[in-house]
Chain A
Amino acid sequence: MFFHLFIYRIKSSVRNVQLMFWTLAFPILLASFFGLAFSNLNKADAFSEIPIGVVKTGTFGADSTLQSHLDAVSSESDDPLLTITYYSTAEEAETALSDKQIKGFLVDDADGLHLHLLSNGLDETITKQFLDWYLQVSASVERIVRTNPSGAPAISGILEKNVTYITEQKTGANAPNSTLTYYYALIGMTCLYGAFMGLDQVSCVQANQSPAGARLNLAPVSKLKVFACSLCAVTLIQYLTILLLVAYLSFVLHVDFGNRIGFILLASFAGCCAGVSFGAVLGAVIKKGDGIKSGILIGSTMTMSFFAGLMQASIKYAAIKAAPFLAYINPAEWISDAFYALYYFDTYDRFFQNVALLFAFSFVMYLIVYAIMRRQQYASL
């Protein structure tokens, strides 16, 4: 009997086109949109040599220190920072600047150094700070020669000596990548969309909620058994849906999940249980029409996903920083954070904390459903 009910519940859920669209097709489409839009984000943050122009007129060339300052970071150097193009007139450089071939150009005339810029950005700031350095070193050297002539002979030796002041430290298990927050929040949202299935199943066993429920209440079968079958069936469908999404993200969009596959499966399962149980509670508690239930479900899952970073990755961190309790009340946050912890940390503490919260949440939700639905009787159907 159990198997029979289980199979038919699976069939009826899979044939529900709307349900399958929102729980499977929509997340995959959204993931594809993310993939298209974010494909270049990481490359944009990565450093590449800054193209600048230098106008070889005026007093340029008279001061060999400036030339050697520029040579030290040009493309041919060991530590390239700038790609320098030389122009014979300022007009040529201006054309290149407005055509966006260069980020800015330098003119060295009798009034000093002038950097022509068209926009604000990190590349422009680095260029300016590098050129400032030239003026600043000159000022320091001048001061030393003036105030401490005995130290002057050592200056060039000190300036030529390369000292390493900074060493890079390892971050987490994998490199930080804020774009991943969107994908992990998307998995959180999809898990919670399992609530549509939970909601549907509760309506199906309640006689005052659906014609199918009314018919079922007349059948000589334990309601709890039917309900348990339904929940198992939809949890399985939802789990397979999430695995499909994770596989799509991993193999097609190349989203990095780390390599702890067993734990990824566990986090997915915990998320599915939480999603389905959440929908079951909404179905049991709210006695209004389908529209209201769906509205509340979409509204609450979107709010939770928003705070998990679905619309803006920085919200996830900012929200928890501002209100730390949010980390303990938002299932979408637990799901996305479980994936984040698996990817980013060497240890499992945070991962297991999230998974435990998800299972505890599901357990409490089912207890509420059981308390509401047990011994429910109808005077008239």
Chain B
Amino acid sequence: MRVFKACFRIIWKNLPTLAIYLAIFLFFALILSFSGASNQPEHYADKKSRIMIINEDEGGEVADGLVQFLSGECQIVTPEKEKVAQLDSLFSEDAEYILSIPSGFTDDFLSGKHSLTIGKMIVPNSTTGVQVDLLVQKYLDTFRLYAETGRVTSDDTAALETIRKNIREDLDHSTDIVWAGAAQTGSVQTAAYYFKYLSYTILSVMILGVSTIMRVFNKPDLRRRMLGSPLAATRVNLELFLGMLCYAVAVWAVMMAISLVFVGPAVADQRIVLMILNALVLTVTALSLSFLCAQFIRGPGSQHSVANVIALGTSFVSGVFVPQSLLGDTVKNVASFTPTYWYVTAVEDISTLSSFGLQNTRDIYLAMLIQMAFAAAFLVVALGLGRQKRRKSN
């Protein structure tokens, strides 16, 4: 088993480089856990937009009532005094809507003139804008209804307080929700994000590892020396194949071990078991793709270039970094010619799975089969190319 052992000696020597990719992955995973991707509720919950309120009419009953109402319906961002800081906040989407209530708004509102309006700064035509507009309109229309029917003026503090109390009670009425969505647990959501990002690491680490092994065994001098050795060529190829397969399984096992940290005890969930299986299928496909890439890679520099371009490129177009639902149709059509796309499709389907009958899981298994078909195709092309290269060099 000399060749088999040599494979692992090569990997051991290049471990620091491979560790960089692992570290990048862990970094992404860490950001992910902080970004709250796992906080998906299991039932219906209002989506709370992030808004900043600049209230220059503090003490005004209408303005204060509106602020109090919006504080319950939205997530309030700490107001900034400087216009530049407000604009920064809007650009970065820290605040999706900036609402400025001018001084004297309450008096103007209650006088019925409505000459002073609330200013808003939003990303033009954003859905958040529509939502917050609706909330503001709802509150102020109701306030106007009470104030005008009761002929309330701005001096009548007691009446204004009653109106605010009445509106609070009225706005408690809500439509009954019948929830038909799948019961998605937080850990399955976290696992889905983890497994999606995993494709980037698996591809990079596999391409780098396999091409490093192949680069050594493809050196013309070494190959000629091996041809002269008493070891049969079939045996050499078999050991090489076994070595790379063991490497692939080791990469997969390490990634699954890390997944335990993120997923925790939910690892026994049938959906997560399917994700683990899907990751194994991708690892085998990545092995085959790496074998194909190794036919083109000459030096250590080009190894990194190829690994980065393939891993990043397929991740971007296949919905790893941006959800597939947000990708354009053309991009999705192009991406469907990559195994990563089918891997991500399977992960997304698994995460929304509610029952495990063949009817529901058929598409998932089909996506895995397509990945295997890619693996077979890559292997055939790589073997063909390898044979052609050897013939040329002989």
Interface residues of A (CB under 8 A from B): 17-18, 21-22, 26, 29-30, 33-34, 36-41, 44-47, 81, 94, 97-98, 107, 111-126, 128-133, 135-141, 143-144, 148, 151-152, 154-155, 158-159, 163-169, 171-172, 175-178, 181, 295, 311-318, 321, 340, 344-345, 350
Contact = CB atoms under 8 A, between A and B. Distances in A.
Nearest to A34: B316
Contacts of A124: 44, 47
B140 A136 contact: no
A315 B5 CA distance: 44
Contact of B138 (A26, A37, A45, A133): A133
A44 B334 CA distance: 20
8 contacts: A17-B301, A21-B301, A40-B327, A44-B326, A116-B178, A158-B145, A311-B31, A317-B94
A171 B121 contact: yes
Interface stretch (B127-135, B275-283, B362-370): B127-135
Contacts of A37: 316-317, 321-322, 327, 331
Nearest to A116: B178
B229 interface: no
A98 B352 CA distance: 12
A45 B305 contact: no
B123 interface: yes
B100 interface: yes
B89 interface: yes
Given A117-B180, A126-B127, A151-B150, A29 B84 contact: no
A117 B177 contact: yes
Contacts of B119: 166-169
Contacts of A177: 91, 123
Interface in B326-372: 326-328, 331, 334
B298 to A, nearest CB: 11
Given A29-B312, A46-B125, A148-B149, 11 more contacts: A29-B309, A33-B313, A98-B180, A124-B47, A140-B170, A148-B150, A155-B149, A158-B148, A166-B133, A167-B117, A176-B90
Interface string B304-316: 0100110011001
B84 A345 contact: yes
Most chain B CB within a 10 A radius of its CB, from A112, A169, A176: A176
A128 B134 CA distance: 11
A115 B170 contact: no
Nearest to A45: B126
Contact of B87 (A114, A148, A176): A176
Given A144-B146, A165-B136, A132 B177 contact: no
A144 B114 contact: no
Contacts of B114: 163-165
Nearest to B352: A119
A289 B138 CA distance: 67
Contact of A311 (B28, B93, B121, B328): B28
Contacts of A315: 31
B316 A33 contact: yes
B15 interface: no
Given A151-B150, A155-B149, A165-B117, A176 B181 contact: no
Contacts of A131: 175
A311 B305 CA distance: 19
B181 A126 contact: no
B173 interface: yes
Contacts of A168: 119-122
A130 to B, nearest CB: 6
A178 B41 contact: no
Given A26-B308, A30-B312, A165-B114, A140 B146 contact: yes
Contacts of B121: 168-169, 171
Contacts of B328: 36, 39-40
Nearest to B78: A321
A340 B137 CA distance: 34
Contacts of A152: 149
Nearest to A170: B121
Contacts of B127: 45-47, 122-123, 126
Most chain A CB within a 10 A radius of its CB, from B89, B131, B175: B175
B174 interface: yes
A34 B130 CA distance: 28
Contacts of A45: 123, 126-127
Contacts of B130: 47, 81, 126
B120 A167 contact: yes
A140 B117 contact: no
B40 A126 contact: no
Contact of A21 (B173, B176, B305): B305
Contact of A97 (B142, B180, B309): B180
B26 interface: no
B145 A120 contact: no
Contacts of A165: 114, 117-118, 136-137, 140
B178 A115 contact: yes
Contacts of B134: 81, 126, 129-130, 133
A38 B119 CA distance: 30
A318 B95 CA distance: 12
Contact of A140 (B118, B124, B142): B142
A121 B31 contact: no
A200 to B, nearest CB: 13
A205 to B, nearest CB: 23
Contacts of B44: 117, 120, 124, 128
B166 interface: yes
Contact of B94 (A133, A311, A314): A314
A114 B176 contact: yes
* Nearest 3 interchain pairs by C-beta: A151-B149, A317-B92, A33-B316
A130 B133 CA distance: 11
A139 B175 CA distance: 13
A359 B219 CA distance: 47
Given A37-B316, A111-B176, A120 B47 contact: yes
A36 B129 contact: no
A178 B93 contact: yes
A47 B126 contact: yes
Contacts of A34: 316
B56 interface: no
B326 A313 contact: no
B276 to A, nearest CB: 25
Contact of B142 (A39, A136, A316, A321): A136
Nearest to B317: A36
B149 to A, nearest CB: 3
Interface in B43-62: 44-47, 49
Nearest to A312: B31
B215 interface: no
Nearest to B105: A165
Nearest to B133: A166
Contacts of A314: 92-94
